[in-house]
Amino acid sequence: MLQPSAAAPARTPFKIQLSKPWHYRRAGIYYLRVRPKGSNALSYTLSLRTSDRPKAMALSKQIQTTLRRFHLDRPEATWEELRDHLKDIAEDILATPTEWERMDSMGLVYSDVQEDLYRIAVTSALTHAQAQAVTLSRQIMRAAQDRVLGDPRGLVGLIDEMNRPLTSHREGLDSLSLSVGASKDRTNSRRSKGEPALTFEALAGLYMAEQESSLRDSTLKDIKTSCRQLVDALGPLDLRRHTRADLIGMRGKLGEGRKVSTVNKLLTRLSTVLAWGVNNGYLEKTFDKKLKIARGSESSREAFTQEQVRQLMAYVNGLPVSSWERWALSLAVITGARLNEISQLRNADVREIGSTWVIDLNTDDGKSLKNKHSVRVVPLIDGAYGFDLGAFLGFINGAPKDGRIFNVRSEYVGQALAAVIRKVLQTKAGGSLTFHSLRHSLASLLKEHEVQLTTAQGILGHSSQSITFDLYGGGQRVSVERLADVLRKVFEKSDNQFPEA
């Protein structure tokens, strides 16, 4: 897929033979070095950033493939030769059809190659021409991913740019080391040699390369996603020369089509990466302090009114006792549990503590929760909004003993429950009233009835420094009964406010 197009003009091939790749360890970390045969002066060294030999060898093989693919293993190559080769690659990607069934897989291929280029950029000693080639190669891979999604403009633009006559450029073998952990003095030395602009993309690549060995795949994926959005907003800005106005302008771009809370999460990621850049000598100063949006950052989701909650529960209580939708929505209303918490519930998570039945929200059996404060037990109040505890326990007894209570694909649960809510309450898809609004409704009800903050947090699983006791300590039974008593009184008062017709 990434070989030069057969229709492309023939290029003069590189006539060079490489010695066998050499692997060595320094401070426990494996490194890869390649060099032309008969030469000790020209070499290419890259940190594999792992102390695990099998992982290092697998990564080395993958990296060598990328090096050869983009001719980055040839330190004698000129910028003109590298650029011509990259132009062939870009034209070939544009001209090669992709079968519909392989779109996702090709997108992943381009993404993997781009990650290899990240590693090369952040840990290798590069000639000036190679540094330019790595930058252009990464742009081509990003454009290739857009091409798979139906947008070829990026590739077309890059090819047009490469078709223009070469401007004067400095050639040579000046090594631009981008090794992670370089000292500040070394950074200044590189800068005096004309180091390219330090974009957020480059800095984020350095940051992620250091973090990847210590983070879970899901966390690293989240970091990459947020950094990609920041890269789009910051563009080619040189962070060594950025101003407060640059970051404010970037914040405005992030705000286009995003919620305030989402923008603030991205700004938090920005600050983390910038702080890392300062601590590691890549930046001297940043201007991201107090950049978050203070007003309007609260959740845009609204709470359902008590009339709406009662209307929904009246419908839900009329569903068959075998209906999983009935019990999933009922739990959301009377416990305030999140969608993810409800969808993962297992048979053993519905249990009795003393005389109180509860749902036990935990991380057993591979379940995941939002944070450590989400681990909790929430009482089930019989009769709340017409909730039938006995019928629910009967439903539980019919569920597989070792399986999930709601034996429905997790990605379908939210869609199905949202459809019920829209049907009953006539809300609009994409609006501010969603399944999560049921959680807000219970929170509002607790606040309205002046329930103590610590008690409300124990029910909803919110984190706060004001929590001074632990529900899972020695007095668990008393605490659960107290929570049940609070919920029972709140629901009774709510019923009295809205008597049955």
Distance CA 139, CA 155 (A): 9
CATH number, position 484: 1.10.443.10
Beta strands, E only, 366-423: 376-379
Does 135 fall in a domain?
yes
Q: Does the pLDDT value for residue 140 go beyond 50?
A: yes
Q: Does the pLDDT value for residue 454 go beyond 70?
A: yes
**What's the pLDDT band for 102 if we cut at 50, 70, 90?**
low
With contact defined as beta carbons under 8 Å apart, do 145 and 98 qualify?
A: no
Among 245, 271, 298, give the residue marking a domain's end: 298
Q: What are phi and psi of 124, to 5 degrees?
A: -110, 155
Looking at the structure, tell me whether residues 241 and 316 fall in a common domain: no
Among 298, 330, 365, give the residue marking a domain's end: 298
Q: Give mean pLDDT, residues 348-375.
A: 87
Looking at the structure, tell me whether residues 254 and 280 fall in a common domain: yes
Q: Does the pLDDT value for residue 22 go beyond 90?
A: no
Does 186 fall in a domain?
no
Does 316 fall in a domain?
yes
pLDDT of residue 443: 87
**What's the pLDDT band for 379 if we cut at 50, 70, 90?**
very high
Does 396 fall in a domain?
yes
Q: Give mean pLDDT, residues 227-252.
A: 89
pLDDT of residue 367: 83
Q: How many domains does the chain have?
A: 3
- The long-range contacts involving 98-103, CB below 8 angstroms and separated by at least 24 positions, are 98/148, 103/148
Looking at the structure, tell me whether residues 273 and 320 fall in a common domain: no
Looking at the structure, tell me whether residues 411 and 429 fall in a common domain: yes
DSSP per residue, 343-364: HT-BGGGEEEETTEEEEEE--G
Count other C-beta atoms under 10 Å from residue 132's C-beta. 18
Q: Does the pLDDT value for residue 50 go beyond 90?
A: no
CA–chain centroid gap for 337, Å, is 23
Distance CA 408, CA 84 (A): 53
Of 78-82, 406-410, 496-500, the least confident: 496-500
pLDDT of residue 42: 54
Looking at the structure, tell me whether residues 134 and 217 fall in a common domain: no
pLDDT of residue 476: 40
pLDDT of residue 12: 40
> What percentage of the chain's residues is helix, strand, coil (to nearest 5)?
55, 10, 40
**What's the pLDDT band for 183 if we cut at 50, 70, 90?**
very low
Q: Does the pLDDT value for residue 123 go beyond 70?
A: no
Distance CA 306, CA 383 (A): 16
Does 431 fall in a domain?
yes
**What's the pLDDT band for 472 if we cut at 50, 70, 90?**
very low
Q: Does the pLDDT value for residue 120 go beyond 80?
A: no
Q: Read off the pLDDT of residues 64-76 as tens digits, 9 standing for 90 and up.
A: 676 667 777 677 7
Q: Does the pLDDT value for residue 3 go beyond 60?
A: no
Distance CA 385, CA 365 (A): 32
**What's the pLDDT band for 234 if we cut at 50, 70, 90?**
very high
Largest CA distance in the chain: 94
pLDDT of residue 244: 87
Looking at the structure, tell me whether residues 321 and 267 fall in a common domain: no
Q: Which two tokens stand for residue 159?
A: 């090819």
pLDDT of residue 478: 40
Of 53-62, 385-394, 430-439, 485-494, the least confident: 53-62
pLDDT of residue 196: 66
Nearest residue to 227 via CA among 297, 277, 177: 277
Instruction: Specify the higher pLDDT residue, 49 or 395.
Output: 395
Using a 10 angstrom Cβ sphere, with 0-12 exposed, 13-18 middle and 19 or more buried, the burial of residue 439 is: buried
Among 298, 333, 365, give the residue marking a domain's end: 298
Distance CA 120, CA 47 (A): 8
Distance CA 472, CA 494 (A): 29
Distance CA 253, CA 263 (A): 10
pLDDT of residue 374: 84
Global pTM value: 0.45
SS3 28: coil
Distances (CA, A) of 50 to 67, 181, 219: 19, 15, 18
Looking at the structure, tell me whether residues 405 and 260 fall in a common domain: no
Does 16 fall in a domain?
no
pLDDT of residue 73: 65
Q: What are phi and psi of 357, to 5 degrees?
A: -85, 140
Looking at the structure, tell me whether residues 327 and 280 fall in a common domain: no
pLDDT of residue 310: 94
Does 12 fall in a domain?
no
pLDDT of residue 328: 94
pLDDT of residue 63: 64
Looking at the structure, tell me whether residues 93 and 147 fall in a common domain: yes
Q: Does the pLDDT value for residue 297 go beyond 70?
A: no
Looking at the structure, tell me whether residues 314 and 290 fall in a common domain: no
Q: What is the CA radius of gyration of the chain?
A: 29
pLDDT of residue 127: 76
Does 14 fall in a domain?
no
pLDDT of residue 308: 93
Instruction: Specify the higher pLDDT residue, 75 or 272.
Output: 272
Distance CA 50, CA 202 (A): 21
pLDDT of residue 301: 58
Give ∠ CA 63-64-67 in degrees, rounded to 5: 90
Q: Which two tokens stand for residue 460?
A: 């909803």
Instruction: Specify the higher pLDDT residue, 17 or 218.
Output: 218
Distance CA 383, CA 466 (A): 32
Alpha-carbon dihedral of residues 413, 416, 420, 423, nearest 10 degrees? Answer: 150
pLDDT of residue 358: 94
Q: Does the pLDDT value for residue 270 go beyond 90?
A: yes
Average pLDDT over the chain, rounded to whole?
76
Distance CA 241, CA 309 (A): 54
Of 32-41, 263-272, 427-436, the least confident: 32-41
Looking at the structure, tell me whether residues 267 and 391 fall in a common domain: no
Distances (CA, A) of 312 to 70, 220, 317, 334, 460: 59, 39, 9, 12, 21
Distance CA 307, CA 447 (A): 17
Nearest residue to 375 via CA among 360, 358, 353: 360
Owning domain of residue 67: 23-179
Q: Give mean pLDDT, residues 403-415.
A: 80
Looking at the structure, tell me whether residues 244 and 383 fall in a common domain: no
Q: Give mean pLDDT, residues 349-366.
A: 90
Q: Does the pLDDT value for residue 6 go beyond 80?
A: no
Q: Does the pLDDT value for residue 21 go beyond 70?
A: no
What sign for the dihedral angle of Cα 448, 450, 451, 452?
positive
Helices (H), 49-199: 53-69, 79-95, 103-123, 128-148, 153-163, 184-192
Q: Give mean pLDDT, residues 407-425.
A: 85
pLDDT of residue 137: 87
With contact defined as beta carbons under 8 Å apart, do 417 and 329 qualify?
A: yes
DSSP per residue, 421-434: HHHHH-PPTTSS--
